[in-house]
Chains A and B, each alone.
Chain A
Amino acid sequence: MRKVTFPHVGESYRTFKMLLNDLGNEVILPPRPSRRTLNLGVQHVPEFACLPLKILMGTYLETLERGANVIVTSGGVGPCRAGLYAEVHKKVLHDMGYQVEMIVFEPPRLHPINFIRNVHKLNPARLSIKAIIECIKRAWRKLQALDNVEKATHVIRPKEIRQGDTSRTYKKVLEWIDSAYTMDEIVEAEKAALEELHNIPQDPERMILKVGIVGEIYVLLEPASNLEIEEMLGNMGVEVERSMFLTGWTRDNTWKETVQGMTVKEAAEPYLPELIGGHGRDSIGNTVLYAKRNFDGVIQLAPFTCIPEIVARTILTSVSKDYNIPVLTFFLDEQTGKAGMATRLEAFVDLMKRKKTKIKQNKLLPASSF
């Protein structure tokens, strides 16, 4: 019997589980990455490779233990080694003796045949094309609902009166969306979830800082890989806006590039006119856009040794100076201690607060006036 699994990326597993089930697959859910995941991962892949390779390796081993034998993952184009990770994982797993089948989705916009073949492989129920499209539409709507609810927590958490309310409510409403199946149910669950979140007692008077988050996609989308930085910032009174969500990224790579995608490229143009792989150019473009929108600061998240983000970091020094916006970079690796990150975040929040108070007294010009 084929049992299908896939990488754990934030809460997106709720959608993929539904879609794969609809197409007639038995699904083994990936567990949330933990210390054990990392320990398993680092044992079997090269030490100098980046964190996503290690976490995914650990995740696959954990799901294989539970009986999975088909892994669905994404490939990639452009000069970032993560595009090869699916092949590396396959080789390592085969060497270890796992008879695992790897189904790798390349961006359909560039590889339409690959997409059709892969969908066919994952359709044991032999649904018609029309039925498949219906399933994908529903899954897409669910993914949007998950993203929208997460975005709401980023706005509400810094204002909550009782610390922890948002995180608790978020956990609860995720289950509502999880159990919604038909299009109507998904729309209704999303509405109820957003209402429930907005009902959390909030302090409208609090001074809220706005911080944009840029960087490499996996460490941005998987809170378990970035020490839950968004939650930590929320608890410090910071509203975060992440530059990347799975829905936005998928759209840019599936149908056609969105207006947002184009704007980011344009914004990065004066600093970096070409693609350097991964999300290096996006990090620069988004920082420029956040500065233009008067954000108080930008945080860049990158896996340790990630070349595109190292290049971006060096360029961000100039962006930070030109637009007078503070930028803080975190290179993430195997550390699980939060203290170091908390210290830096606290200092960064202090810095932004002092700057903001100064702007209010009309002494310093806001970032957008440059």
Chain B
Amino acid sequence: MKAYLGIDVGSVSTNIVVQDEAGAILAGLYLRTRGRPVETLQAGLKETAEKLPTGIQICGVGTTGSGRYLAGVIVGADVIKNEITAHAVAASHFISDVQTVLEIGGQDSKIIIIRDGIVVDFAMNTVCAAGTGSFLDQQASRLGIPITEFGDLALQSKHPVRIAGRCTVFAESDMIHKQQMGHSLKDIVNGLCEALVRNYLNNVGKGKEILPPVVFQGGVAANAGIKAAFERALGMEVLVPPHHNIMGAIGAALLAKEEINHSQKASRFKGFSITKLTYRTSSFECNGCPNNCEIAEIYEEDRVIGRWGARCPKWDIVQEELH
């Protein structure tokens, strides 16, 4: 059976999806990247290969996320796409008339405005990570609540306390202050959900026309408290798709399918056997000019397969040789 592989290497999680021609998910994995993208990717691919039913042929591979180029050279990707396009494609796949996509991941958050099936506007958080998954994680562990229970706890609250959501550092001091004043944990947690939503809408969603259907995806969409806060703030229903935390990978797989159908070429996928190869990354500073670019390299066994970070094409030769 023909299938497509989608990989999303993000700051916090690495997601892998295998989809058949019709779009059904044959395997879906959500792993923590833990700052080791290469190791995580190899482990994830190994696990995926074991999970897959026999007779599956990978006909195309797509990568996305901040580690998309790294993942792309390791697996041999047919398409390497930014996460905004990937998320938009995946959202449209599940809810075909979607007009707004809210996505909150580990360290970034974005809003995508779709009209008649095409992306017409988008925004991503820029200089601040307030209101993303990492902060929620941090606060959950500070309060000693498992992140998985965070949302349900918020739902029990009737009177959320007001917490400053502008900056996570001040949000934390505000929370501590409210705690010491004796507010209940569930009201504080709910207040935090509201603060994050407020910050997201003022910062990322500023000036955007949010029309239904609204799809909420990314790791944070698992949090029912945030979803409810969004619904209260927007005054409309917010849909969380079934595979909300691996939507980027699904988008990458869909884009790979599109690319292969369009180009009619054989996939560049190197096969699941790459999980047995050794990969090594290193970096050095180029002293060719005053830019002093920091160049990162990745080796497959003893061969350089990719280099990044140069501001000029001096170190790009390797890429050309590969193609």
Contact = CB atoms under 8 A, between A and B. Distances in A.
Interface of A: 31-32, 34-36, 163-164, 167, 228, 304, 314, 317, 320-321, 326, 330-331, 333, 335, 338-340, 342-344, 346-348, 350-351, 354-355, 358, 363
Given A344-B124, A346-B82, A350-B81, 14 more contacts: A35-B292, A163-B313, A163-B316, A164-B312, A304-B127, A326-B120, A326-B121, A338-B311, A340-B124, A342-B82, A346-B81, A346-B84, A354-B118, A354-B119
A10 to B, nearest CB: 15
A350 B82 contact: yes
B126 interface: yes
A355 B120 contact: yes
A317 B316 CA distance: 38
A37 to B, nearest CB: 9
Interface string B307-321: 000011100100000
B84 A343 contact: yes
A48 to B, nearest CB: 13
Interface residues of B, number: 24
Secondary structure type dominating chain A contacts: helix
A344 B209 CA distance: 19
A32 B291 CA distance: 8
Interface in B243-301: 290-292
Across the A-B interface, the 7 shortest Cβ-Cβ residue pairs: A347-B84, A317-B207, A164-B313, A346-B82, A354-B118, A34-B290, A347-B82
A35 B85 CA distance: 32
Contact of B127 (A32, A333, A350): A333
Contact of A350 (B119, B121, B124): B119
B127 A331 contact: yes
B122 interface: yes
A304 to B, nearest CB: 6
B66 interface: yes
A346 B68 CA distance: 13
7 contacts: A163-B316, A164-B312, A304-B127, A346-B82, A351-B119, A351-B120, A355-B118
A351 B119 CA distance: 6
A164 B83 contact: no
Contacts of A339: 66
Given A351-B120, A351-B122, A354-B118, A164 B84 contact: no
Given A34-B291, A351-B120, A343 B312 contact: no
Contacts of B121: 320, 326, 351
A163 B66 CA distance: 23
Contacts of A35: 292
Contacts of B82: 342-344, 346-347, 350
A199 B316 CA distance: 23
Contacts of B207: 314, 317
Nearest to A354: B118
Contact of A34 (B116, B120, B122, B292): B292
B290 A32 contact: yes
Contact of B290 (A31, A333, A338, A355): A31
Interface in B92-122: 116, 118-122
Nearest to A327: B121
Contacts of B292: 34-36
Contacts of B84: 343-344, 346-347, 350
Name which of B81, B83, B207, B292 has the most chain A CB atoms within 10 A of its CB.
B207
B122 A347 contact: yes
